[in-house]
Amino acid sequence: MQSEEYKKKFHKELKDLMDEHVHYVYALTKKFPKEEIYGVTSQLRRATLSIILNYIEGYARIGEPTYKNFLKISYGSLKESNYLLDFSLVENYISLEEYQKSIKTADRIGAMVWGVIKNLN
């Protein structure tokens, strides 16, 4: 059984990483073409923001099944944002370096979230 101190530290680390990721994606999308403001720009921002918002909401809820559901939604949003980052790379909205940095962070977040989901099983 993990200690409460470890859980709090893990939660803070994961939340901070998600926060860093969403701010990075917002900065990237500021340079997207203006015609994409209601398309890829909006969708990528919403998907990425949904990662942390669902995590926080689930963490704040009482009850393991509810928390697990929000974690799964968060993980799904992560996968959605990863596809949109792939799309943005192909469309030359972001550079390879920007893509690699964002995906590296996303992969770390994904591993952490998935680990929590598996531990709840």
Predicted local distance difference test score (pLDDT) of residue 115 = 94
Alpha-carbon span 8 to 6, nearest angstrom? 5
Helix axes 4-29, 64-90, angle to 10 degrees: 30
| Mean pLDDT to the nearest integer, 81-104 | 98
**Among residues 49, 57, 54, 55, which one has the least CA distance to residue 84?**
49
Domains and CATH numbers, the chain: 9-26+36-120 (1.20.1440.60)
- Residue 99 clears pLDDT 60, i.e. is over it: yes
pLDDT at 2 over 70: no
* pLDDT, position 1: 55
If you average pLDDT over every residue of the chain, what do you get? 94
**Residues 46-88: pLDDT tens digits?**
999 999 999 999 988 877 889 999 999 999 999 999 999 999 9
